[in-house]
Structure 1
Amino acid sequence: MGSDFRGKRKRAGGGRGARTSALLACGGFLVAGCATMPDSGDVRDVKASNPGDSQVRVYAVQPRENAEPDEIVDGFLEAMTSDDPGFATARTYLTKQAARTWRPAQSITVLTTAPDREQADRLADPENQGRSYPIRGRQIATVDSRHAYQPVNPVEYKDFIHVVQQPAADGKGKEWRIDHLPPGLVLSEADFQRNYRSVNKYYFASGEDWVVADPVYIRQRQDPATRMDPVTQTVKALLEGPTNWLKPSVDSRFPSGTQLKAGVTSLATDDQSTLKVPLNAKADRVGGEVCRRMAAQLLFTLGGLTSVRVEQVELQRSDGERLCVLSKAQAEEFAPVRDSGRAENPFFVDEDGTLMAMPVGGKADTPGDETPGPFGKGRMPLRSVAVDRDESRAAGVSKDGKELRVASILSDQELRPALLTSRAARPEDRLSAPSWDGRGDLWAADRDPSKPRLWVVPDGEGEPVEVRAPWLTDGVRVESLRVSADGVRIALLLKEKDGDTTLRIGRVEREGGGARPAVAVVDLQPVAPRMEAVTSVSWAGPSRLVVVGKEAGGVQQIRYVQTDGATSTASILPGLNGVTAVSAPHDDRAPVVAYSGNDGIVRLETGANWQRMVKVLGSSPVYPG
């Protein structure tokens, strides 16, 4: 065998003039339209609707004296997009009462473009001579107070901003100010992506000793509300606990109430790349093993920040004394997938239904390698396959879709009896392609229209357990599935009654142990609501999926999507026609592989284009999982 299997803004709005923005190229500063133009440096136009550079900075400008109500509303909408500490300048557009009660950290409403401010409806407030300005847009997401991103099917957003006249600060005359505004922040998608970045917090799977990624959003630079730098924001978010969606299935090893020591707004590594994290008294009495796991949560969480290199973490008591120290290498014991030191191997099923391996570093148009064991010998021709994360066993669905069996891919042995059998009449209504989680449990769906079901086989052998799935009603069935390495989340392609296929992510909940635990998949969330037809999905790391689908009226795309549903234009992979299957490795050391009806099995190396990978005809390319 040639491969080794064993390891392992033009903001629109009635009555609003065109806004001119200027960028100081040498400093990367975006200046609001009402600001004074700089008298030195290169100047060029910038559209805030450009997804653009995260280094661009928007500076809020205070309202001018005797500003008209239109200017107050427009200036406030601009100021919301800035990094102004405490949003102090934005608050100058508000009445004293509104400034006291506005909570910009409460939530973020994300719109496709900047909010469209319409002309004031003067009839809406005839008594006190105020002005009511409707604002509209297409909402695509919300971010809650726990920093969790939640996509929505694009819907019309409507709210209003109301302005009144109040005595001016100098006691002479009156000034227009806002006394009613939408809750939190209202930002365009471009402004949101410029100001915020995704980070993974990590918590332990309930009852287990490995970590689970929990994506949230923090500010790219200093947080206006807390004055914290990105590293400190990230640590604070971790200590606040998991997001509401993930919370039922994970645990934090930090004692309840643990926070950063009062007054800490900046954390930086020393010359040994050690990050010292001072905690409050809630953590003073933790033991060594608990502290190690606390430090592991921090190391995994900080590992996703490109702005800092953390090789080890030192946790400190409230008096500054050391609690424990843990290195990045030591934290690896808590990873859901251990780093074997080499790239993962992709597999596929050839035209005869034989399980084959693809040497990841091989040349284009290689023949592939037969795997040892029954599936490599063709004793049961396969329709689809999944290889466990140790690359020691494979689960295969027979060519007619009726049976699911498990066999070794390290040595030859007798083929074991079927674990699952579908009674559906048509092959396309029978068993889905299987999937392994990092626990060694095997998952598959029976797509029988008369009784669609979801199954898990503990340890990949023994008696299958029917998974409680209350959403499998009214003609809904699981077309395909992929389980995360941590076993806590499952990506599902659901075929609806109307024939549309949508992508959802569910939370796996387990009760009891032994050979037959009670397992449920609940609280399904949309992942790619703007995609109307999804044909394939694969995990591509701890909190990212690679998805094949298309948006309404668009062409097929292959793109990366965060498990919370967040996307960016940079996530789109090079085009490839006729893709029906895609698979990605757990890390980025191996290429993405796909099956195209036009090109066969292909791979995509970083920075390259798609390239045909194997010479023989085949389908169902998969990485372990």
Structure 2
Amino acid sequence: MRWVAVALTAVLVSGCAGIPSSGPVQRVADDRGKPQSTVRYAPVGPARGASPQQIVRGYLDAMLAYPVSTGTAAAYLTPEAADTWKSANGVTVYAEPRVSLARSTLSDGDEQTSVVELRSTTVERLDRQGRTVRAGQDEPRSYILAKVRGQWRITNPQAGVMVTRSYYTDYFRAFPIYFFDAPGQRLVPEVVHLAVGDQLPTGLVTSLALGTSSGTLRTYVPRASALQSSVSVNDQGIADVQFSNSLARLAEDQRNHLAAQIVWTLRAVPGLAGVRIFGDDAILRAGDDRVQSIGAWGEFGPLAVDRHTYAVVGNRLVEVDGGTLKRVSGPWGTDALEAVDVAVSGAAIAAVLPGRSRVRITDRDGKSPRSHDGEGLIAPRWDEDGQLWLVDRPDGVTRVRLVPSGDKARAVPAGRLSGLTVRSFDVSPDGGRVALEADRRGSTALYVCDVLRDGKNRVTGLGAPQLVDTGVPAPHSVSWASTTRLVFLGSTEAGVQVHEAAIDGTDVEGGATGGGPLLPDVRATHLVADAGADGSAWVTDSRKRLWYLAPGRSWRLLDDRAFSGLTSGD
């Protein structure tokens, strides 16, 4: 499996990381069990008498220093250019570089200048916070060089830094940074791309302090300009985060939310035990303790629940426990009403009936029945607040409704989502987003949209759907692998396979070349993955048969009867 990841420019305030263009690379497992290079690389400065092309090639190589540093790269610039170079203003990841001399001229003052052209293929672009941005067309980049004390130097460095694809693959990973929803009740992550290593804590907190890109989330963290120096970590695994702002003047609620954002964000740092948060007049305390435990503030995260897999077979609702099927207790285990889709929570069961024009809801014992009509109802979902989400498409317009604990369904303004033909969807574990599969240009595509809430935590609508461009053809049966990652089925040269990706479309794993077990070419239609957080997965195929992937094993046919409504629930 290959991680697609990019450099965060917040880390590049003090430099840019990379690897040499040749030579052996040692690999170890990082904190998520993925390989990462541990090679250190110290590029050399400009050689005396180097040609303009050699200066540009050396400059590009110098931006591949690890540990992070832009000092050597700046030595390839004129003093004026080095002073004004905005190395932290974004990252361009490139491949196939071609350097050539465009022209060499004499200025009016007999001062010689040269123009060196760089052509390359852009792989990815990041903004200064480390978020992916849409790359434009590849155009040649012209570097103008002038002589400084007889040596060629670059006068016009690009904004930000440029790094190679191998550099970015070896040294960078996707990480979550946490913000609060509108009512301030739950933490919702956004994805940034940062360099691994000693500067990771600084990069994470800097990116967090730069704020949220969402118009629906809020932050309690002071601005990045108030962040003093780097985030240091002592031998006991305690990180010190220092702000120039007053923290003593903050209300207790604000201090708690600030601490929660920083602690949850720094959980991504391997080996970290706790955090101390300083202002210019106070330290945030956790009770009487100056150290905030790295496991603190769990109340702001998603609920910890055991997930189970369910399906309907032989008109009975069954729980799929590994490779074993067992009927659920109560009437649903004996008569599932020929349900075509189901949703199961700890307290209730919802079933889409044949014809997809009605959903039936009862408690787990089959009591308190109620029904809601619709048109083309797709598989419903329960959220962490115990609300049932219904999606259908009356009169060719997608409709979203919520069914709370009471009987009455209420419409949720869907915005631009109403124009999409939705095939499957899922609510994130933290309740902050909805992932969906919808028709697009004769195939399907994945989207993510924010869940909008008011100050009382009531869902008020859905944000604009954001395309999740993973590059995987015909993605379908999407669900959440975590609060920042999606798992879905998609087409490959080996048939339909299981894939996983970050919500910004990067970091794609799985497929036919991912190194994991390959699903036989059975045209899988529905997927449940990691329901037990152990790597297990189940799919149904075009013949409605049930397949099972046990941890550390290969896919096998579990049952050749006709299954429907394969789903994950409480």
Deviation of 1:606 (Å): 4.0
Measure, in 2, the Cα distance between the counterparts of 1:230 and 1:359: 39
Cα 1:396–1:120 shift into 2, 3 Å = farther
| 2:544 is equivalent to residue 581 of structure 1 | no
- The structure-2 alpha-carbon separation of the partners of 1:556 and 1:68, relative to structure 1 and needing over 3 Å to count, comes to farther
Within the candidate set 220, 243, 263, 1:299 is matched to: 263
Structure 1 Cα separation of the partners of residues 44 and 295 of structure 2 = 48
Matches of 2:157 and 2:225 in 1, distance apart?
Answer: 34
Residue among 477, 480, 496 paired with 1:536: 477
Q: Match for residue 219 of structure 2?
A: 252
Deviation at 1:230, TM superposition (A): 1.6
Residues 522-576 of structure 1 deviation map (CA, whole Å, 9 limit, x = unaligned): 1x3232341231122110111111121136x785332210112211557834221
Structure-2 separation of matches of 1:512 and 1:269: 42
Q: Are 2:360 and 2:371, in contact at CA under 8 Å, matched by a contact in 1?
A: yes
Q: Which amino acid aligns with 1:380?
A: L
Is 1:438 aligned with 2:422?
Answer: no
1:386 corresponds, among 340, 343, 356, to 343
Q: Write out per-residue CA displacement over residues 414-434 of structure 1, whole angstroms, 9 at most, x where no aligned residue.
A: 53122x411xxxxxxx12211
**CA distance 1:91–1:258, change in 2 (3 Å):** closer
Q: Distance in 2 between matches of 1:96 and 1:201?
A: 36
Instruction: Tell me which moved more, 608-617 or 92-101.
Output: 608-617
In structure 2, the residue matched to 1:180 is 156
- 1:271-420 equivalent positions in 2, closer than 5 A: 274-305=238-269, 307-310=270-273, 312-319=274-281, 321=283, 323-324=285-286, 325=289, 326-327=292-293, 330-337=296-303, 339-340=304-305, 343-352=306-315, 354-360=316-322, 364=323, 366=324, 368-373=325-330, 375-378=332-335, 380-388=337-345, 391-409=346-364, 411-418=365-372, 420=373
- CA distance, structure 1, for counterparts of residue 165 and residue 406 of structure 2: 43
Query: Which residue matches 2:4?
Result: none
Match in the other structure for 1:527: 468
User: In structure 2, how many angstroms separate the alpha carbons of the residues matched to 1:195 and 1:378?
Assistant: 54
Aligned to 1:135: 119
CA RMSD in angstroms, aligned pairs only: 3.4
Report if the CA contact (8 A) 1:151-1:526 is conserved.
Answer: no
Deviations 1:197-219 (A, max 9, x none): 22211222220422112221222
Give, in whole Å, the separation in 2 of the partners of 1:236 and 1:569: 28
Distance of 1:608 and 1:414 partners within structure 2: 42
Q: C-alpha deviations, 1:562-593, integer Å up to 9, x for none?
A: 11221155783422132211223477246233
Identity %: 23
Q: Is the 8 A contact 1:54 1:220 kept in 2?
A: no
Distance 1:45 1:161, change over 3 A: farther
Number of the residue aligned with 1:492: 436
| Alignment check: 8 A CA contact 1:374 1:414 kept | no
Q: Secondary structure at the match of 1:493?
A: strand
**Do the aligned residues in 2 keep the contact of 1:437 with 1:487 (CA within 8 Å)?**
yes
**CA distance, structure 2, for counterparts of residue 183 and residue 378 of structure 1:** 65
Q: Which residue number corresponds to residue 15 of structure 1?
A: none
Q: Is the 8 A contact 1:441 1:460 kept in 2?
A: no
> Does the CA contact (< 8 Å) of 1:386 and 1:434 recur in 2?
yes
**1:108 & 1:447 partners in 2: Cα distance?**
42
2:498 is matched with which residue? 558
The equivalent of 2:13 in structure 1 is: none
Shift in alpha-carbon separation, 1:431–1:345, aligned structure 2, 3 A: same
Deviation per CA, 1:297-352: give whole Å up to 9, x if none: 233222222x2232x44434435655334445552222222x35xx4211112253
CA contact (8 A) 1:269 1:275 kept: no
Equivalent residue number for residue 427 of structure 1: none
Deviations 1:230-275 (A, max 9, x none): 2233233333332x1x3x2222233567844x334422362xx554
Shift of 1:72: 1.6
For residues 255 and 505 of structure 2, what CA distance do their matches in structure 1 show?
A: 33
* Equivalent position SS for 2:249: coil
C-alpha distance in 1, partners of 2:447/2:161? 27
Amino acid at match of 1:417: S
Q: Which amino acid aligns with 1:252?
A: T
Cα shift readout 1:19-72 (whole Å, capped 9, x = no counterpart): xxxxxxxxxx95567xxxxxxxxx7489xxxx9732123322212111112212
CA offsets 1:438-482 (integer angstroms, 9 cap, x no match): 233322322456333333334574222143322544xx4112111
Asked if 2 retains the 8 angstrom alpha-carbon contact of 1:163 and 1:176, the reply is no
Residues 115 and 143 in structure 2, CA contact (< 8 A), matched pair in contact too: yes
Contact 2:91 2:163 in 1 (8 A): yes
Amino acid at match of 1:469: G
Secondary structure (helix, strand or coil) at the match of 1:503 reads: strand
Task: List per-residue Cα deviations over 1:163-206 (Å, max 9, x = no partner).
Answer: 323132xxxxx322222343322333332122322221122222
* Equivalent residues of 1:94, 1:177 under 8 A apart: yes
Contact 1:387–1:624 (CA under 8 A) maintained in structure 2: yes
Mapped to 2, the partners of 1:251 and 1:393 lie a distance apart of: 33
Q: 1:156 to 1:434 in 2, by over 3 A?
A: same
1:106 is displaced (CA, Å) by 0.9
Q: Which runs of 5+ in 2 are unaligned?
A: 1-17, 27-33
TM-score of the superposition, structure 2-length normalised? 0.83
Q: Per the alignment, in what secondary structure is the counterpart of residue 498 of structure 2?
A: strand
Shift of the 510–614 alpha-carbon distance from structure 1 to 2, 3 Å rule, reads same
The yes-or-no answer on 1:230 pairing with 2:200 is: yes
2:401 maps to which residue? 455
Q: Distance in 2 between matches of 1:109 and 1:217?
A: 13
Measured after TM superposition, the shift of residue 382 of structure 1 is 1.1
Corresponding residue number in structure 2 for 1:467: 413
From 152, 160, 169, the equivalent of 2:141 is 160
Q: Distance in 1 between matches of 2:235 and 2:219?
A: 24
CA 1:191/1:417 → structure 2, altered by over 3 Å: closer, same or farther? Answer: same
Residue 595 in structure 1 maps to residue 540 in structure 2: yes
Cα distance between partner residues in 2 of 1:299 and 1:382? 44
Query: What's the counterpart of residue 10 of structure 2?
Result: none
Equivalent position to 1:196, from 172, 175, 191: 172
Distance 1:220 1:278 in 2: 21
Residue pair 1:236, 1:259 contacting (<8 A) in 2 also: no
Mark the CA change 1:232 to 1:136 in structure 2 (over 3 Å): closer, same or farther: closer
Question: CA 1:605–1:304 in 2, change beyond 3 Å: closer, same or farther?
Answer: farther
Equivalent-residue separation in structure 1 for 2:137 and 2:84 (angstroms): 26
1:511–1:209 distance in 2 versus 1, CA, 3 Å: closer
Please, what TM-score do these two structures have when normalized by structure 1? Answer: 0.76
Alignment partners' CA distance in 1, 2:238 and 2:35: 33
How far apart are the structure 2 equivalents of 1:293 and 1:536? 35
Cα offset, 1:501, TM superposition = 0.5
Alpha carbons 1:202, 1:213 under 8 Å: kept:
yes
Corresponding residue number in structure 1 for 2:210:
240
Question: Number of matched residues?
Answer: 535
Amino acid of the structure 1 residue aligned with 2:272: R
C-alpha distance in 2 between matches for 1:372 and 1:590: 26
CA distance in 1: counterparts of 2:221 and 2:444, whole angstroms: 40
